[in-house]
């Protein structure tokens, strides 16, 4: 499957119906999600691998991994509403992806590759929320693909080094976040976001 075909399929996935502000449930744009999946695929981290999507939302990264030939795919999210949407979509299209409602720190599994778009910590109640995603990724996987605000990359480098890992790739994007909450005052805000490939040296 070509990247553009993957992007078109991911674009059609349903969005969260009742997004929760403090969980920062902003949908990963299909163009960026497809590019992340293709980057991971090109590095040999998708096909025939066990892949976990942490904070999966309605399953855009999990679905991408499944479509690109992952051996097994699991998605975890604390919000049972988005998990219900993801499960329904997987059943509808006969995609054998396992989705679970679970808080990230309590996830107990092992895999080859973790894909994630963790909260950026943009809400005051959610500062450093991405740290628990990274720590869980180190616990369960050999390689992580994770999105972070570009301005936080120096902090991420220090965290990864402290966890005895290594950042082997960085790709930068303009990441549009559309108006979905009452406190938003712009239709779309573009954030500078970096995709990091992190080896955990497990």
- Average pLDDT over every residue of 75-97: 96
CATH number of residue 63's parent domain: 3.40.50.150
- Average pLDDT over every residue of 163-188: 77
> Whole-angstrom Cα distance, residue 83 to residue 6?
21
Average confidence score pLDDT of the chain: 89
- Average pLDDT over every residue of 166-193: 77
Burial of 193: CB neighbours in 10 Å, binned 0-12, 13-18, 19+: buried
Q: Global pTM? A: 0.91
Question: What is the phi/psi pair of residue 197, to 5°?
Answer: -100, 120
> Whole-angstrom Cα distance, residue 103 to residue 101?
7
pLDDT at 38: 97
E strand map for the chain: 50-54, 72-77, 98-101, 113-116, 143-149, 166-178, 188-199
The domain in which residue 152 lies consists of 3-199
* pLDDT tens-digit series, residues 23-67: 565 788 999 999 999 999 999 999 999 999 999 999 999 999 999
- Inter-residue contact 101 to 79 (CB < 8 Å): yes
* pLDDT tens-digit series, residues 121-166: 544 444 567 889 999 999 999 999 999 999 999 999 999 999 999 9
- Alpha carbon separation from 184 to 9, 75, 141, 168, 187 (Å, rounded): 28, 28, 36, 35, 8
Q: Report the number of distinct structural domains present in the chain.
A: 1
């Amino acid at each position: 499957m070509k990247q553009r075909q993957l992007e078109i399929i991911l674009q059609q996935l349903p969005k969260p119906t009742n997004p929760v502000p403090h969980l920062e449930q902003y949908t990963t744009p299909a163009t960026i999600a497809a590019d992340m999946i293709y980057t991971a695929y090109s590095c040999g981290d998708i096909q025939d691998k066990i892949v976990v999507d942490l904070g999966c939302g309605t399953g855009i990264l999990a679905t991408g991994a499944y479509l690109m030939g992952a051996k097994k795919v699991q998605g975890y999210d604390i919000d049972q509403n988005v998990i219900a949407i993801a499960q329904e979509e997987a059943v509808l299209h006969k995609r054998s992806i396992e989705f679970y409602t679970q808080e990230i720190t309590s996830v107990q599994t092992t895999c080859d590759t973790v894909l994630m778009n963790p909260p950026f910590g943009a809400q005051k109640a959610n500062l450093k929320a991405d740290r628990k995603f990274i720590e869980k990724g180190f616990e369960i996987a050999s390689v992580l693909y994770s999105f972070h605000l570009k301005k936080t990359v120096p902090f991420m480098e220090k965290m990864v080094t402290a966890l005895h890992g290594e950042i082997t790739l960085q790709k930068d994007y303009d990441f549009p976040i559309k108006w979905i909450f009452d406190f938003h005052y712009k239709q779309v805000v573009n954030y500078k976001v970096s995709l990091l490939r992190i080896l955990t040296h497990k």
